[in-house]
């Protein structure tokens, strides 16, 4: 078959900020099923660009292997089975929806015995039955939403009336963390990179307060909006923000380390003040985490998030690009903070 | 009464390392009981010098207030009631032993309603009945031992076969942490500041290995002795040691932040590499703690430690000075790492 199969490949590894030159849009072979019992072909419907992908563009060893040069990049995606021998296949049916980390190419062969990284799974039932928009499978009911829920509720256990600080509060994870903390009855302050985002999280997402770290220092912003200190800090950025949060933490404070976007483009070893002694006297817990390490909590978190979405307690922001060729633009925009909430690329419509 | 009552007072606040000039040995008034129902006079038997006291010598705000200039310094002590109206007093009897944070002076008035910092308590029953030496109330059955037990067992939960790293391993806390980890079936590597101390912890205390950080870098020492990485790191020193431990931690590693002796004399803000991103991918937990925050665990820990002492599983190292006037020498020696295990000053004999 000579059917078109466009892919986003890694043309070169970025040094510092990612540019369009680091990617290439090119044709890859259309896949062929050789064993109808175990193989199906899926079509890419929607894909997600996320900050953690910056790590995979480098050669640096990490918790998941780097992307390979001149091969399609990968990320969370929702795909639909388009070629499948429904009578012979041991697992899938034609038309079925699948989620997971998959290559960013229009058509992909999936072997039921060789699930890629982090496994493949059926999207939440509210997405399959159409109660909620399919794209929520990449936000509230996908990795970012589960990340927000596990990092906040499982690791930090916020109690009613506690003070919660969240950075990258206009982003996919941060915007949900703040709303989940409000649901827990906390006082929530969000930090974002523009006045527009700050207005949005306060006015639309009902955070108690927020500040723009580009015009207000972390120290000043925290002192102004959280004069009684921070009980829970959900860290998406690392660096100065984490230093200042540590300085302003209360006794028995909890910090979830979710991301360090301020550090991802650094080509040198950044230096920061040695502040861990502050953690001793205030008995602060700091816990790094990867959402994939808690598979047993995914269904729990997804059911909770679906409930909040259906009741209207949780609002989802999305920034959408259309067409697979716009993946590089979407990713570069994400790293520059141009997104409001989840950055998604819609590639094709569900059949 | 004109009875002598020598005290160790704070003559000046240290800038950098502590010197003898920072202390003064002087007479303070012998106390007077005015309400025999609530007051007793105690005599200092033994007192403990510990690294955390360096913090109280500075003006810097901390979890306990700074020592006052020209007033007696305070620390953990074992005292005995020498003046008490046994018929009227609501709590104490003459001859009774008491432990807690008390002023370093020969005779002190204790008011049962105004217990100083962290409270006063009766030493463990094995000390009162003489099964174990009284000085163990300042090590295994006092703050350092409880610290070792809570930091290791409660916060880090070491499992059999895991790799445990402990710094200041020749010190009061570190030497017990390593032995407790061996009791849990772990592989234990200790770091100390002299070959003599390293030999001691390996040969006498049965650590699996050790290295001298003054002649072997933390990176080299950890790579050599823990080629499979670190599962639990008990941090007594902070700084470079913590950086290198973080770099070598395994997935789901736990770090107990107990002390930062490498930083205590710093007059500038020390800078270190920003390594918290490493904690994300390996889901590392780092937890600061103060033993006083866990009062409910003290009796549990003390009973466990007494059991290990009586069975011979736990050995106690002590470095002993005699005479209250030697408190400054003992403290300065402690900060310079001249102690083997617990540094104690014996002031008078029990009646």
DSSP string covering B193-257, please? SSHHHHHHHHHTS--SEEEETTTS-HHHHHHHH-TT-EEEEEESS-HHHHHHHHHTEEEEEEEEE
Query: Is the domain of A154 the same as that of A266?
Result: yes
Nearest CA of chain A to the CA of B144: how many Å? Answer: 15
Query: Which has the closest alpha carbon to B96: B106, B83, B105?
Result: B83
Full DSSP string of A115-128: --TT-EEPPPHHHH
State the pLDDT at residue A113. 80
Q: How confident is the model at residue B337 (pLDDT cuts 50, 70, 90)?
A: confident
Cα R_g (chain A), whole angstroms? 21
Q: Is the distance from CB of B209 to CB of B231 less than 8 angstroms?
A: no
Which residues in chain B touch residue A219, judged by CB atoms under 8 angstroms apart? Answer: none
Query: Is the domain of B148 the same as that of B287?
Result: yes
- The encoded tokens of residue B181 equal 């980890």
Cα R_g (chain B), whole angstroms? 21
For chain B, what is the domain count? 2
Q: Is the distance from CB of B104 to CB of B72 less than 8 angstroms?
A: yes
Query: Which has the closest alpha carbon to B83: B101, B102, B110?
Result: B110
State the pLDDT at residue A259. 86
The pTM assigned to this predicted structure is: 0.89
Give the least confident one: A28-37, A56-65, A226-235, B279-288.
A56-65
* Test the B interface: residue of A117, A233, A274 with most B CBs within 10 Å: A274
B271 at interface of A, judged by CB pairs closer than 8 A: yes
| B280/A273 touch (CB, cutoff 8 Å), yes or no | no
CATH of residue A86's domain is 3.90.180.10
Contacts 24+ apart (CB under 8 A), B229-233: B229/B163, B229/B253, B230/B163, B230/B164, B230/B165, B231/B158, B231/B159, B231/B162, B231/B163, B231/B164, B231/B186, B232/B152, B232/B156, B232/B158, B232/B162, B232/B163, B232/B164, B232/B165, B232/B181, B232/B186, B232/B256, B233/B164, B233/B165, B233/B166
Q: Specify if A338 maps to a domain.
A: yes
Q: Specify if A301 maps to a domain.
A: no
pLDDT above 90 (res A20):
yes
| B257/A280 touch (CB, cutoff 8 Å), yes or no | yes
Which residues in chain B touch residue A276, judged by CB atoms under 8 angstroms apart? Answer: 235, 238, 242, 257, 260, 286, 288
CATH of residue B180's domain is 3.40.50.720
Q: Specify if B88 maps to a domain.
A: yes
φ/ψ of A170, rounded to 5, equals -90, -5
| CA angle centred on B51, ends B50 and B56, rounded to 5° | 95
Query: Is the domain of B103 the same as that of B152?
Result: no
Query: Is the domain of B256 the same as that of B333?
Result: no
| A273/B278 touch (CB, cutoff 8 Å), yes or no | no
Q: Specify if A137 maps to a domain.
A: no
Number of Cβ within 10 Å of residue A297's Cβ equals 16
A61 at interface of B, judged by CB pairs closer than 8 A: no
| A274/B272 touch (CB, cutoff 8 Å), yes or no | yes
A117 at interface of B, judged by CB pairs closer than 8 A: no
To the nearest 10 degrees (0 to 180), the angle between helices A218-225 and A239-247 is 40
State the pLDDT at residue A26. 97
C-alpha span between B314 and A179 (Å, rounded): 50
State the pLDDT at residue B341. 87
Q: How far is CA B310 from the centre of its chain?
A: 21
* Test the A interface: residue of B281, B291, B293 with most A CBs within 10 Å: B281
Full DSSP string of A210-270: EEETTTS-HHHHHHHH-TT-EEEEEESS-HHHHHHHHHTEEEEEEEEE---TTTTT-SS--
Q: Of B257, B271, B276, which has the smallest distance from its Cβ to A260's Cβ? A: B276
Q: How confident is the model at residue B117 (pLDDT cuts 50, 70, 90)?
A: low
CA distance readout (Å), A77 to A105, A118, A137, A263, B163: 10, 12, 9, 26, 38
C-alpha span between B307 and B304 (Å, rounded): 5
φ/ψ of B235, rounded to 5, equals -95, 115
Q: Is the distance from CB of A306 to CB of A124 less than 8 angstroms?
A: yes
| CA angle centred on A126, ends A293 and A168, rounded to 5° | 50
State the pLDDT at residue B254. 97
Query: Is the domain of A88 the same as that of A176?
Result: no
Q: Of A251, A273, A285, which has the smallest distance from its Cβ to B285's Cβ? A: A285
Q: Is the distance from CB of A133 to CB of A309 less than 8 angstroms?
A: no
Q: Specify if B303 maps to a domain.
A: no
What is the residue whose two structure tokens read 């400054």?
B328
Query: Is the domain of B226 the same as that of B98?
Result: no
State the pLDDT at residue A118. 57
Q: Specify if A173 maps to a domain.
A: yes
Where would I find the beta strands (DSSP E) of B11-161? 23-27, 39-48, 74-83, 97-103, 107-111, 120-121
State the pLDDT at residue A64. 79
Q: What is the ipTM of this complex?
A: 0.85
Query: Is the domain of B135 the same as that of B148?
Result: no
Nearest CA of chain B to the CA of A273: how many Å? Answer: 4
Query: Is the domain of A118 the same as that of A161?
Result: no
Q: Which of A108-122, A247-261, B204-218, B261-275 has the highest mean predicted lDDT (pLDDT)?
A: B204-218
State the pLDDT at residue B267. 64
Which residues in chain A touch residue B117, judged by CB atoms under 8 angstroms apart? Answer: none
State the pLDDT at residue A266. 67
pLDDT digits (tens, 9 = 90+) for B9-25: 999 999 889 999 999 99
In sequence order, the 6+-apart residues with CB closer than 8 A to the CB of A266 are none
Residue B81: give the domain boundaries.
6-139+317-346
A281 at interface of B, judged by CB pairs closer than 8 A: yes
Q: What is the DSSP letter of A341?
A: B
A286 at interface of B, judged by CB pairs closer than 8 A: yes
Contacts 24+ apart (CB under 8 A), B20-23: B20/B328, B20/B329, B20/B332, B22/B57, B22/B328, B23/B73, B23/B327, B23/B328, B23/B331
Q: Which of residues 17-36 of A touch B (CB under 8 A)?
A: none
Residue of chain B minimizing CA distance to A257: B280
Q: Of A270, A277, A287, which has the smallest distance from its Cβ to B273's Cβ? A: A270
Q: Ramachandran region of residue A281, left (φ > 0), alpha (ψ -120 to 50) or beta?
A: alpha
A241 at interface of B, judged by CB pairs closer than 8 A: no
| A279/B290 touch (CB, cutoff 8 Å), yes or no | no
- The encoded tokens of residue A125 equal 């039932």
Query: Is the domain of A89 the same as that of A24?
Result: yes
State the pLDDT at residue A256. 97
Q: Specify if B312 maps to a domain.
A: no
A285 at interface of B, judged by CB pairs closer than 8 A: yes
| B285/A281 touch (CB, cutoff 8 Å), yes or no | no
Q: How confident is the model at residue A262 (pLDDT cuts 50, 70, 90)?
A: confident
Query: Is the domain of A254 the same as that of A158?
Result: yes
Number of Cβ within 10 Å of residue A164's Cβ equals 27
pLDDT digits (tens, 9 = 90+) for B145-186: 999 999 999 999 999 999 999 999 999 999 999 999 999 999
Q: Is the distance from CB of A75 to CB of A99 less than 8 angstroms?
A: no
pLDDT above 80 (res A268):
no
Average pLDDT value for residue range A80-97: 95
- The encoded tokens of residue B333 equal 């020696």
State the pLDDT at residue A2. 66
Query: Is the domain of B149 the same as that of B97?
Result: no
Q: How confident is the model at residue A71 (pLDDT cuts 50, 70, 90)?
A: very high
Q: Specify if B134 maps to a domain.
A: yes
Query: Is the domain of A271 the same as that of A204?
Result: yes
């Amino acid at each position: 078959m000579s059917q078109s199969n466009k892919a986003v490949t890694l043309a070169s590894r970025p040094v510092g900020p990612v540019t369009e030159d680091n990617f290439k849009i090119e044709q890859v072979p259309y896949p062929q099923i050789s064993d109808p019992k175990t193989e199906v072909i899926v079509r890419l419907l929607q894909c997600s660009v996320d900050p953690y992908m910056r790590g995979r563009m480098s050669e640096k060893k990490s918790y998941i292997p780097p992307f390979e040069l001149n091969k399609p990049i990968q990320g969370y995606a929702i795909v639909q089975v388009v070629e499948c021998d429904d009578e012979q296949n041991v697992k899938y049916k034609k038309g079925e929806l699948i989620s997971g980390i998959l290559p960013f190419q229009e058509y992909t062969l999936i072997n039921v015995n060789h699930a890629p990284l982090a496994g493949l799974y059926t999207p939440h039932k509210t997405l399959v039955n159409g109660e909620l928009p399919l794209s929520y499978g990449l936000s509230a009911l996908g990795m970012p939403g589960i990340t927000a829920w596990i990092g906040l509720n499982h690791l930090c256990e916020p109690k009613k009336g506690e003070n919660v600080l969240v950075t990258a509060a206009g982003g996919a994870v941060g915007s949900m963390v703040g709303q989940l903390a409000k649901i827990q009855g906390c006082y929530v302050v969000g930090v974002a990179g523009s006045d527009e985002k700050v207005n949005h999280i306060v006015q639309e997402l009902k955070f108690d307060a927020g500040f723009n770290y580009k015009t207000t220092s972390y120290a000043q912003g925290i002192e102004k909006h959280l004069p009684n200190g921070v009980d829970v800090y959900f860290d998406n950025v690392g660096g100065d923000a984490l230093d200042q949060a540590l300085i302003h933490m209360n006794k028995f404070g909890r910090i979830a380390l979710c991301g360090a976007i301020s550090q991802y483009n650094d080509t040198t070893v950044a230096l920061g003040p040695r502040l861990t002694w502050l953690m001793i006297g205030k008995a602060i817990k700091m816990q790094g985490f990867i959402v994939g390490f808690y598979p047993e909590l995914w269904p729990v978190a997804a059911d909770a998030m679906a409930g909040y979405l259906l009741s209207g307690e949780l609002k989802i922001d999305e920034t959408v690009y259309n067409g697979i060729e716009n993946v590089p633009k979407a990713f570069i925009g994400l790293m520059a903070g141009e997104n409001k909430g989840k950055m998604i690329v819609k590639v094709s419509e569900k059949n």
